[in-house]
Amino acid sequence: MLGVVFTEFMEMVEDEFSFDVADEIMDISGVGVETGFTAVQEYSHTDMVKLVAALHKVTGMEIDALITAFGQHLFQRFTVTHSQFFSGATCSLDFLENIEGYIHVEVKKLYPNAELPTFRCIRHAPDKLEMNYKSKRPFGDLAHGLIRGCGAHFKDDLEIERTDQNGPHEVQFMIRRERPV
Ligand code: HEM
């Protein structure tokens, strides 16, 4: 997993909790203790799972809620760090539908070692998108949070119905956009 995901995660922990909590979860998990994290390095995705488990221990918050919150935070950060992907984008569902065929394709060019999931999308209607997440990594909650973050960014009111099909490795998201009246 790319170091940038870890640096963003630790920044979220420092901002939302504290520097002490950030240190504590590195101590408890044994991850990043010696050297911290750098954006250019790569780490095992299991290290992220260990950090989240440690954050759960320290804060008492549920693991799925913590990962989803991180997904929301990460999307907001992407709007700043990868602003090139947002020029001309106006609709959350169009944006989400383009993750597989455009955004993650470009991400792979920028970071050839990126390990990305697949999304099979079906646009049932202008305001209804089905996204089928599949990955070797267990980050259905992260996808959930990224989808929420996307709705928030475009100020779209999204209703997200989620069905886990193979634990957090394969998740179906049925997303409806509520039209503002
Ligand atoms: C501008 C928008 C986006 C950018 C720049 C982006 C970029 C990235 C990057 C750099 C990674 C890390 C790869 C690695 O660590 O090896 C990643 C992973 C991931 N992305 Fe995106 N992404 C974007 C939007 C989204 C959205 C909206 C979703 C959800 C619908 C999504 C779902 C995921 C998931 C779930 C992963 C974790 C890897 C996995 O599950 O296998 N991404 N993305």
**171 in Cβ contact with 164 (< 8 Å):** yes
**Is pLDDT of 58 > 80?**
yes
Q: How far is the CA of 116 from the centre of ligand 1 (A)?
A: 6
Ligand 1 atom nearest the C-alpha of 137 is: 41
Q: Whose CA is nearest to atom 34 of ligand 1?
A: 143
Q: Is 129's C-beta closer than 6 angstroms to any atom of ligand 1?
A: no
With bands split at pLDDT 50, 70 and 90, how would you rate the model's confidence at 181?
Answer: low
User: Span 154-175, mean pLDDT?
Assistant: 95
Summarised one tens digit per residue, pLDDT across range 70-97 is: 999 999 999 999 999 999 899 999 999 9
Q: Which of 99, 113, 131, 132 to mutate to test the pocket of ligand 1 (most atoms within 8 A of CB)?
A: 99
**12 in Cβ contact with 27 (< 8 Å):** no
Residue 39 has, within 13 A of its CA and on its CB side, a CA count of 5
**Is pLDDT of 177 > 90?**
yes
In sequence order, what are the residues at sequence separation of 6 or more whose Cβ sits closer than 8 angstroms to the Cβ of residue 179?
Answer: 127
Percent of the chain's residues with pLDDT above 70: 99
pLDDT at 180: 66
With bands split at pLDDT 50, 70 and 90, how would you rate the model's confidence at 23?
Answer: very high
Pick the CATH number of 91-178 from 3.30.1490.20, 3.90.1520.10, 3.40.920.10, 3.40.630.30: 3.90.1520.10
User: Span 116-144, mean pLDDT?
Assistant: 97
pLDDT at 156: 96
User: Span 133-138, mean pLDDT?
Assistant: 96
Of 18 and 168, the structure prediction assigns the larger pLDDT to 18
**Is pLDDT of 147 > 90?**
yes
Q: Is 48's C-beta closer than 6 angstroms to any atom of ligand 1?
A: no
Q: Is 147's C-beta closer than 6 angstroms to any atom of ligand 1?
A: yes
User: Span 120-130, mean pLDDT?
Assistant: 98
Residue with tokens 């250019």: 40
Q: Is 43's C-beta closer than 6 angstroms to any atom of ligand 1?
A: no
Whole-number Å distance between alpha carbons of 133 and 75: 17
User: Span 99-125, mean pLDDT?
Assistant: 97
Percent of the chain's residues with pLDDT above 90: 92
Backbone angles phi, psi at 100, to 5 degrees: -65, -45
Q: Is 107's C-beta closer than 6 angstroms to any atom of ligand 1?
A: yes
pLDDT at 19: 96
